[in-house]
Amino acid sequence: GAVVSQHPSRVICKSGTSVKIECRSLDFQATTMFWYRQFPKKSLMLMATSNEGSKATYEQGVEKDKFLINHASLTLSTLTVTSAHPEDSSFYICSARDVGDRRSYGYTFGSGTRLTVV
């Protein structure tokens, strides 16, 4: 079945530095990938929709200059948290959609990245 690999699974960084998170679709091509942030009380917030070869679409309230998204190929999207601050500490999850997969309606999730900013 469809597999999405997300890396790293955990990262600790200092305030003011930038962190890049990768999301790869391993056995299918994804023209669209999604980035979510999971808060401590578990709710999943859609941050942005990443489109291959074009600019990402950000949800209201998400700072596009802080959360840089690049989707340079059909199998890779990256999220870079720039000038990270402790309030950016969270669990980030990517999802890719294989529209040819009718069994799950095509959404496959990465295993998530736990970001801690100290």
Partner 1 sequence: GNSVTQMEGPVTLSEEAFLTINCTYTATGYPSLFWYVQYPGEGLQLLLKATKADDKGSNKGFEATYRKETTSFHLEKGSVQVSDSAVYFCALTEGNQAGTALIFGKGTTLS
CB of 65 to partner 1, least distance (A): 21
Q: Shortest gap between Cβ of 33 and partner 1 (angstroms)? A: 10
DSSP helix/strand/coil, 4: strand
Beta strands in 1-118 (DSSP E): 4-7, 10-13, 19-25, 32-38, 44-51, 57-58, 67-73, 76-81, 90-97, 107-109, 113-117
- Please say which residue, 3 or 72, places its beta carbon nearer to partner 1: 3
Minimum distance from CB of 86 to partner 1 (Å)?
Answer: 23
Backbone angles phi, psi at 44, to 5 degrees: -105, 120
Number of H helices, E strands in the chain: 0, 11
What are the residues binding partner 1 (CB under 8 A)?
A: 6, 31-32, 34, 36, 41-44, 46, 49, 51, 57, 93, 95, 97, 99, 104-107, 109-112
Least distance from C-beta 27 to partner 1, angstroms?
Answer: 16
Of residues 1 and 86, the one with the C-beta less far from partner 1: 1
